[in-house]
């Protein structure tokens, strides 16, 4: 009979092997061009989102916590899209100064939005910290 | 589910997604060809799909 422990050890050994292979082939990769950096950041957001989803599906995160992560990730994704658009516009043969200025305005708006989000999150954390401390 | 199994589930997610991303970038550096529009669109679609799933949970 196959026990839970044996299955666990087998899976762990498999993951260890996979990680060893991954580390030996991918450990020194650093994005070099702006497109590679944009790609890597999009991948990072995707990975964090997937991890959050998995943890929620396994009952390790509450809906409120998922909402918190979602707000942060969607803001980051929005800003990344604006930055990407700015990059593509600056490299486009049809780019104009006015297009670039428009995009800079949008990126500034996104930064302001992120700042507001961080301020709200900090206030929220401070409040929950105070209420916990009071108890 | 057992915490260890959940942790492995998360590890597998990170491993599969991370490997795909890293190998794409590594290949791009090795060949000297930048990320293609198709590859970029693919990761953006994956990202948006995940964000949409999270949005549905967040309500």
Q: Which residue has the tokens 């198709």?
A: B38
**Interface ipTM:** 0.90
Between CA A48 and CA A64 the distance in angstroms is 16
Which residues 6+ apart lie within 8 Å of A87 measured at CB? Answer: A34, A35, A38
Q: What is the pLDDT of residues B6-51, one digit of tens each?
A: 888 888 888 888 888 989 999 999 999 999 999 999 999 999 999 9
Residues of A with CB under 8 A from a CB of B: 8, 11-12, 15, 18-19, 22, 25-26, 29, 31-33, 35-36, 38-40, 42-47, 49-56, 58-60, 63, 66-67, 69-71, 73-74, 77
Threshold 0.90, pTM exceeds: no
A63 contacts on B by Cβ (under 8 Å): 57-59
Between CA A77 and CA A105 the distance in angstroms is 17
What's the gap in Å between the CA of B25 and the closest CA on chain A? 6
Q: Do B50 and A70 touch (CB under 8 A)?
A: no
Structure tokens at A124: 């929220």
């Amino acid at each position: 009979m196959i026990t839970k422990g044996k299955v666990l050890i087998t899976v762990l050994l498999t993951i260890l092997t996979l990680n060893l292979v991954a580390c030996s082939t991918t450990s020194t990769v650093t994005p070099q061009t702006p497109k590679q950096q944009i790609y890597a950041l999009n991948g990072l957001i995707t990975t964090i989102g997937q991890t959050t989803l998995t943890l929620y599906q396994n009952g390790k995160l509450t809906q409120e916590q998922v909402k918190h992560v979602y707000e942060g990730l969607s803001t980051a994704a929005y800003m990344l899209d604006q930055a990407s658009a700015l990059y593509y516009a600056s490299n486009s043969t049809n780019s104009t100064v006015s297009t670039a200025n428009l995009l800079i305005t949008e990126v500034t708006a996104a930064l302001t939005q992120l700042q507001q989000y961080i301020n709200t999150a900090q206030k929220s954390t401070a409040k929950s910290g105070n209420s916990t401390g009071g108890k | 589910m057992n915490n260890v199994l959940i942790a492995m589930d998360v590890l597998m997610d990170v491993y599969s997604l991370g490997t795909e991303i890293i190998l794409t970038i590594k290949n791009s550096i090795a060949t000297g060809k930048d990320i293609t529009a198709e590859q970029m669109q693919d990761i953006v679609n994956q990202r948006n799909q995940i964000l949409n799933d999270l949005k549905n949970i967040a309500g």
